[in-house]
């Protein structure tokens, strides 16, 4: 390789799917080859044993012949023994039948010239009275599979018979069996290679032709994108099971989102559940999760007209809603100040005109009237409420009610001597209940429009009751009044106040409910129970 030249220039990297295919084919070839070798060995061993057993059976039949026993005992060379040996050799198509005396001297042999010589292979075991089976030995007639058995006359061994088959015959049988086995092995090899090719094709289709390193990079990119953005992401499969989610989604929804869990089993907003169940794209849907207001967008994912699932994104709109409410309050205050400025200017002009015309008595009477009118301001809560947060909240709501020509009263039996431990939760519950009551009272037929709020401490539990002079809650809305998006207001973006109030109460193991829908002699009555929201010590 030349210096500085990259290795891939000369040896391009092979695709992973091709590597898998070659590896699978190699494994199949190796397994088939080992299988054929094992079968060949087993076949050769089995055939060798079979030829040995056959040779032993022939040898025993010869050794049991009385003529052979008598000839071996008399050590007669040739003659009847040679005739018998040649007849058995021809009849059984064996390589040789050799008969010896008790000293290993040949009495019968296929080669008459070898009669009288000592056998070329050991006859010790046979002459000691033992059978020799399947011995592959090299003799004067060549390599053969032979078996030997003793010739016994009474209790005395008088000789031995040796019968052998040529190895060439054994090898031919083995080769024929191996050829047949090889045909099956070849078919198995082709089948394995075809299955490997199909598996390789399936792998390419499942991975869309991507290499492992590309899949790894996609995984890293997905994790970086999921956990690097400021929005919550939740992906569901076609059966609405969680497949992908990031930490921001779990934080915003306030619950764990284990992968593989059906969406219906998760404690999520009913609005979110309905948005996914309908299967249609959703844009900027407002939903409540804990004390948060979330903006939800969902999109159905399809590939080749096959539904793959749904992807949802979440944005936290709680801070935006807080700023919006503060801006509305500032705008209302600005409008009020502007109106007061115009009114004050008009009064000054009137007073200036009276003084210029010399009507001093009328001017003094006019000033007295202005003083009395200006003093009719909203009264702050008395000593019934000790907590500064509650006092400030009630004072602000009283000012707001007075600006709209309504009255916000504190019930006579209200009594909260302790401090609030969670001002945000108290403000969420009380503020939303009072805002809804003021809206209902303003739309109601009764005048003057009024709202009465009752606050009562019971240990560390704060009880809240809010009743208005409005028309009451309509029958169709009573069962679903606390659901997200349910509101009597016509403008969009409403229907979250009561849901937020209930979520904040339940976060403290409390509850908010409609105690009396009203409609006849009075308006609706809402009640809240907030355990653990008060300190056990009184405010000094």
- Checking if the pLDDT of 77 tops 70, the result is yes
pLDDT at position 488 over 60: no
Contacts of 427 (CB under 8 A, 6+ apart): 389, 393
Looking at 3.40.50.880, 3.90.930.12, 3.30.450.20, 1.20.1290.10, the CATH number of the domain 230-316 comes to: 3.30.450.20
Mean pLDDT computed over 227-249: 78
Looking at domain 377-538, its CATH class is: alpha beta
What percent of the chain lies above the pLDDT cut of 70?
78
Judge whether residue 406 has pLDDT over 80: yes
For residue 63, pLDDT over 90 is answered with no
pLDDT of amino acid 6: 42
The arithmetic mean of pLDDT across residues 470-484, rounded, is 76
pLDDT band for position 249 (cuts 50, 70, 90) = confident
- Separate counts of helices (H) and strands (E) for the chain: 14, 17
Cα→Cα distances 248→3, 227, 315, 360, 482, Å: 50, 7, 9, 71, 26
Q: State yes or no: pLDDT of 261 exceeds 80.
A: yes
Answer whether residue 500 shows pLDDT above 60: yes
What 3-state class would DSSP assign to 298?
strand
- The topology (CATH level 3) of 32-173 is Beta-Lactamase (3.30.450)
Answer yes or no: is pLDDT of 102 > 80.
Answer: yes
Percent of the chain with pLDDT over 90: 4
pLDDT at 390 over 70: yes
Q: How many CA atoms lie within 13 A of 179 on its CB side?
A: 6
How many C-beta atoms lie closer than 10 Å to residue 527's C-beta?
17
Taking residues 77-91, what's their average pLDDT? 86
User: In this predicted model, which residue has the larger pLDDT, 513 or 340?
Assistant: 513
Lowest-confidence range among 36-50, 301-315, 357-371? Answer: 357-371
Residue 106 has pLDDT above 80, yes or no: yes
Q: Tell whether the model's pLDDT for residue 219 goes beyond 60.
A: yes
Distance CA 210, CA 203 (A): 10
SS3 77: coil
- Does the pLDDT at position 4 exceed 80? no
Q: Is the pLDDT of residue 1 over 50?
A: no
When pLDDT is averaged across residues 233-238 and rounded to a whole number, the result is 82
- Quick check: 462 and 530 in contact, CB under 8 A? yes
Q: In this model, does residue 103 exceed pLDDT 90?
A: no
Q: For 452-478, what is the mean pLDDT?
A: 87
Q: How much is the pLDDT for 173?
A: 66
Q: What is the pLDDT of residue 340?
A: 57
Q: Where does the pLDDT of residue 529 fall: very low under 50, low under 70, confident under 90, or very high at 90 and above?
A: very high
- Binning pLDDT at 50, 70 and 90, where does residue 380 land? low
Longest Cα separation, the chain: 182
Of residues 460 and 179, more confidently modeled: 460
Looking at residues 233-248, what average pLDDT do you find? 81
Contact at 8 Å (CB) between 71 and 161? no
Strand partners, 233: 313
| Neighbour-count burial for 20-30, b at 16+ CB within 10 Å, e otherwise | ebeebbeebee
Sheet holding 525-530, edge to edge: 407-410, 450-458, 461-468, 525-530, 511-516
Percent of the chain as helix, strand, coil, to the nearest 5: 50, 25, 30
The highest-confidence range among 126-135, 357-366, 478-487, by mean pLDDT, is 126-135
| Reported confidence tier of residue 466, pLDDT bands at 50, 70, 90 | very high
Task: Name which of 107-116, 375-384, 427-436 the model is least confident about.
Answer: 375-384
């Amino acid at each position: 390789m030349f210096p500085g030249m990259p290795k891939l220039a000369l040896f391009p990297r092979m695709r992973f799917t091709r590597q898998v295919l070659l590896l699978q084919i190699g494994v199949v070839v190796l397994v088939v080859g080992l299988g054929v070798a094992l079968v060949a060995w087993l076949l050769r061993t089995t055939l060798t044993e079979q030829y040995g057993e056959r040779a032993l059976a022939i040898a025993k039949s010869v050794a049991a012949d009385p003529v052979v026993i008598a000839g071996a005992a008399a050590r007669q060379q040739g003659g009847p023994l040679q005739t018998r040996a040649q007849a058995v050799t021809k009849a059984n198509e064996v390589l040789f039948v050799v008969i010896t005396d008790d000293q290993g001297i040949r009495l019968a042999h296929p080669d008459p010239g070898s009669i009288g010589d000592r056998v070329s292979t050991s006859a010790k075991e046979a002459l000691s009275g033992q059978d020799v089976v399947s011995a592959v030995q090299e003799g004067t007639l060549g390599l053969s599979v032979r078996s030997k058995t003793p010739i016994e006359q009474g209790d005395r061994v008088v000789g031995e018979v040796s019968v052998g088959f040529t190895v060439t015959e054994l090898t031919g049988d083995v080769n024929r069996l191996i050829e047949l086995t090889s045909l099956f092995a070849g078919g198995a090899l082709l089948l394995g290679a075809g299955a490997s090719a199909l598996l390789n094709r399936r792998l390419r289709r499942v991975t869309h032709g991507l290499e492992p390193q590309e899949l790894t990079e996609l995984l890293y990119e997905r994790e970086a994108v999921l956990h690097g953005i400021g929005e919550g992401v939740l992906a569901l499969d076609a059966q609405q099971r969680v497949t992908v989610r990031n930490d921001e989604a779990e934080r915003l929804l306030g619950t764990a989102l284990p992968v593989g869990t059906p969406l219906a089993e998760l404690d999520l907003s009913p609005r979110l559940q309905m948005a996914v169940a309908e299967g249609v794209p959703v844009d900027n849907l407002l939903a409540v999760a804990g004390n948060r207001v979330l903006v939800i967008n969902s999109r159905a994912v399809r590939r080749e007209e096959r539904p793959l699932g749904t992807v949802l994104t979440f944005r936290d709109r709680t801070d935006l809603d807080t700023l919006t409410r503060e801006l509305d309050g500032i705008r209302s205050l600005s409008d009020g100040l502007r109106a007061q400025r115009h009114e004050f200017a008009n009064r000054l002009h009137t007073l200036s005109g009276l003084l210029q015309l010399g009507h001093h008595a009328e001017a003094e009477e006019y000033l007295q009237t202005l003083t009395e009118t200006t003093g009719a301001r909203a009264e702050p809560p008395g000593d019934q409420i000790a907590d500064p947060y509650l006092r400030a909240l009630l004072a602000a709501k009283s000012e707001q009610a007075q600006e709209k020509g309504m009255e916000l009263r504190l019930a006579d039996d209200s009594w909260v001597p302790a401090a609030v431990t969670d001002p945000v939760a108290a403000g969420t519950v009380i503020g939303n209940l009072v805002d809804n009551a003021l809206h209902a009272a303003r739309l109601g037929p009764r005048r003057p429009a009024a709202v009465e709020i009752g606050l009562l401490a019971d240990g560390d539990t704060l009880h809240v009751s809010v009743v208005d002079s409005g028309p009451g809650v309509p029958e169709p809305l009573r069962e679903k009044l606390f659901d997200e998006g349910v509101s009597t207001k016509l403008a969009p973006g409403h229907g979250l106040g009561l849901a937020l109030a209930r979520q904040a109460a339940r976060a403290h193991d409390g509850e908010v409910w409609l105690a009396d829908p009203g409609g006849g002699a009075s308006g609706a009555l809402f009640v809240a129970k907030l355990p653990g929201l008060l300190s056990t010590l009184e405010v000094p």
